[in-house]
A = this chain, B = another copy of it.
C-alpha cells in the first residue's frame, strides 16, 4: 500500500481522514490497470463507482452532435471521477479514457455501503468531501454564467438564465 500513499495524499477524498480511516477505504477498493487509449467510464452508462487515479493520466471526453469527441478535461494522479453519479444513479455525461498506462482504485457503491454499515466515519467523510467539491464547482459555474449574461451581447438571454436558475435553486428534489 505504501506505493500509493504519496499519490493518495493529493486526493481530496482522503485528506480529511485519519490513517485508520484511509486504511478502511483502501481495504475495500479494487486496483485496476488500463493500457493507454482504453475507455474506463462510458458516457451514457450509469455505473455507481468512485474512481481514483493513482498513476497515469486520463482525458474526459464528450460526444458532439457532429459525431466527433471533444476533450473536456485532463485528469492527473489524485483526481477522482464518477462522483457525479456515485450518490445518485444517472447516466454519465462524459466518458473517461486513459491517455497513458493508468492505475486506478475503484470503490463500488456496494463496498461503500458495506463501509457505511460498519459505522465507519470514512463513509461519511467521502460523502462530505463530495458535497464540498460539488458545492464549490456549482458556485464557480454559477458565477461564470452570471458574469457571462451581464455582458452587453447577452442582454437577450438574461431573463432565460434567471428563470432557469430560479427553478434550479427552488427545487430541492431528486
Contact = CB atoms under 8 A, between A and B. Distances in A.
A84 B80 CA distance: 20
Given A119-B119, A141-B142, A157-B148, A173 B12 contact: yes
A33 interface: no
B138 A164 contact: no
Interface stretch (A20-28, A98-106, A125-133): A125-133
> In the complex this chain forms, how many copies of it are found?
2
Interface in A109-144: 116, 119, 121, 123-124, 127-144
A83 B140 contact: no
Given A139-B90, A139-B93, A141-B145, A169 B133 contact: no
A131 B12 contact: no
A111 to B, nearest CB: 15
Q: Which of A73, A138, A150, A166 neighbours the largest number of chain B CB atoms within 10 Å of its CB?
A: A138
A135 to B, nearest CB: 5
A133 B80 contact: no
B135 A135 contact: no
Given A134-B134, A135-B87, A145-B145, A73 B169 contact: yes
11 contacts: A12-B173, A72-B169, A73-B167, A88-B136, A119-B121, A123-B124, A127-B127, A127-B128, A131-B131, A133-B172, A141-B168
